C-alpha cells in the first residue's frame, strides 16, 4: 500500500507500507512531520488527525464510535467530510492507496 502525505507548507512525502499498518504508524515510522500518534493508536489522543483527499474518501472504512468522539477533540478544526484519525485507517487490500493532508497543528 501507498500513502501520500501533503504537508501544510506544500511538501509531499510518499510512503510505502506493509499491509496491516495504519496511516499513523507509517507516518511515525517514516518520520513524517506533523503526525504524533501520542496514544499509540488507541483512538484516544487525536494527534494523528489527517484530512483525507476527496478522491479516496469512498474507499475508507466507516468512522467508529471512539474515532467519532476523538474527532471532536482535534487541535486543527475538524472537516465534516475529510477528517479522520490516522490510526484508524489500516492499509491493505481494502485500502491500497490513500492521500492525506497533514493539519497545521496536532497539539
Ligand atoms: Fe491517538 Fe490515533 S494515535 S488517536
**Cα distance between residue 79 and residue 51, in whole Å:** 7
- Structural domain count, the chain: 1
In a domain, residue 106? The reply is no
Q: Determine the structural domain holding residue 79 and report its residue range.
A: 2-101
In a domain, residue 40? The reply is yes
How would residue 107 be classed by pLDDT, with cut points 50, 70 and 90? confident
Q: Write down the mean pLDDT value for the chain.
A: 97
Q: Which of 22, 23, 24 to mutate to test the pocket of ligand 1 (most atoms within 8 A of CB)?
A: 24
User: For the segment 41-85, what is each residue's pLDDT rounded down to a tens digit?
Assistant: 999 999 999 999 999 999 999 999 999 999 999 999 999 999 999
Ligand 1 neighbours (beta carbon < 6 A): 24, 37-39, 41-48, 70, 85, 87
Is it the case that residue 106 has pLDDT exceeding 90? Answer: yes
**Cα distance between residue 20 and residue 34, in whole Å:** 22
Q: Please name the residue that has the C-alpha cell 510505502.
A: 16
In a domain, residue 41? The reply is yes
Atom of ligand 1 nearest to the CA of 39: 1
Atom of ligand 1 nearest to the CA of 88: 2
The strand pairing partners of 50, in sequence order, are 84
86 phi/psi in degrees, rounded to 5? -60, -30
* CATH of residue 25: 3.10.20.30
User: For the segment 12-43, what is each residue's pLDDT rounded down to a tens digit?
Assistant: 999 999 999 999 999 999 999 999 999 999 99
In a domain, residue 8? The reply is yes
This complex has an ipTM of 0.99
Q: Which of 35, 47, 71, 74 to mutate to test the pocket of ligand 1 (most atoms within 8 A of CB)?
A: 47
| pTM above threshold 0.95 | yes
Amino acid at each position: 500500500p501507498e500513502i501520500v502525505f501533503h504537508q501544510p507548507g506544500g511538501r509531499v512525502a510518499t510512503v510505502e507500507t506493509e499491509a496491516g499498518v495504519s496511516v499513523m504508524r507509517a507516518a511515525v515510522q517514516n518520520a513524517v512531520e506533523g503526525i504524533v500518534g501520542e496514544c499509540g493508536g488507541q483512538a484516544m489522543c487525536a494527534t494523528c488527525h489527517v484530512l483525507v483527499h476527496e478522491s479516496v474518501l469512498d474507499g475508507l472504512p466507516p468512522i467508529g464510535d471512539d474515532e467519532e468522539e476523538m474527532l471532536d477533540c482535534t487541535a486543527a478544526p475538524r472537516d465534516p467530510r475529510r477528517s479522520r484519525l490516522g490510526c484508524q485507517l489500516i492499509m491493505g487490500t481494502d485500502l491500497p492507496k490513500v492521500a492525506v493532508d497533514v493539519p497545521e497543528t496536532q497539539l
